[in-house]
Structure 1
């Protein structure tokens, strides 16, 4: 799990939202439903919202040397 980095909650949350969004999107495309537009629009919306979690995961894995944090 060291290759994933820290902040596992954000990582798995983003993966979950991406997977659910992709499933909803494909249900909206391929299922013969009268309310297909709900699935087609909500799937990509969830995938877009997962970008927030991906950004939090990335920011949580940044490493800044102590020398850069000290005032000059």
Structure 2
């Protein structure tokens, strides 16, 4: 057991929408970035910058998903 939970259990958390958006933006950003780097297109710089900005924007969803899934026991809160 790891912190009272079973090892085989997969829990996506309470905010699955933020997780799905983060994964989607990661995939789109990576495709745009790699397409801009490896494809011989005239507008490669647009694809590289857009892909990088999409990856940075996905970090906001990762941070939001992680922050909303932090569980603090009521005993540790000073209420």
Give the structure-2-normalised TM-score: 0.81
Aligned-pair RMSD on alpha carbons?
1.5
**Greater helix proportion:** 1
Name the structure 2 match of 1:57: 65
Give 1:34 shift. 0.6
Name the structure 1 match of 2:76: 68
Where structure 1 has 5 or more consecutive residues not aligned to the other structure, the ranges are: none
Name the structure 1 match of 2:15: 7
4+ aligned runs moved over 4 Å, structure 1: none
Deviates more, 1:1-10 or 1:55-64: 1-10
The C-alpha deviation readout for 1:34-72, integer Å capped at 9, x for no partner, is 11000011101100111110011001111111122243x
* Whole-angstrom distance in 2 between the partners of 1:70 and 1:36: 53
Give the structure-1-normalised TM-score: 0.88
Give 1:3 shift. 2.0
How many residue pairs get aligned? The number is: 71
